Amino acid sequence: MSNAVETDETDRLIASNKVEGTAVYGSDGEKLGHVYNFMVDKRSGQVEYAVLGFGGLFGMGENYHPLPWNSLTYDTGKGGYVVNVSKDRLQGGPSYRANEEPAYDRDYGRRINDYYGVTGTY
């Protein structure tokens, strides 16, 4: 019989429900927000974006900021992800509110990747 840890996490894999809610920190150590969810490419199965929940109180008034997944690094000491983005840069980046979710099409993907200076699949 397996226990919950074995089914939710291995040495190299983790279940999505354990990633969602994980803290995200800037390189200066300041907590920027949390992983709200992430976007997976249906064809490749690769995670393209972590959607960072930022601001608000108890989920009310929260903004969502998609970050290229490869811009996040997991830090075991912090128990969360670290991204080399300042709070100001994050606030100026592509974002949306809960009732305004964008279409994750090629143009939006390019906009995200261009803003954060990464090469993406779009």
The domain that holds 91 is classified in CATH as: 2.30.30.240
pLDDT of amino acid 1: 47
Domain carrying residue 102: 16-116
pLDDT of amino acid 5: 46
Query: Dihedral of the CA atoms 55, 58, 59, 63 (nearest 10)?
Result: -10
pTM: 0.83
Q: How far apart are CA 52 and CA 41, in angstroms?
A: 18
Tokens of 110: 């390019």
Decide if 1 is inside a domain: no
**Tens-digit pLDDT string for the chain (122 aa):** 455 445 677 777 788 888 999 999 998 999 999 999 999 988 999 999 999 998 776 656 789 999 999 999 999 899 999 999 988 999 899 999 888 888 888 899 899 999 999 876 55
pLDDT of amino acid 62: 86
Decide if 8 is inside a domain: no
Decide if 112 is inside a domain: yes
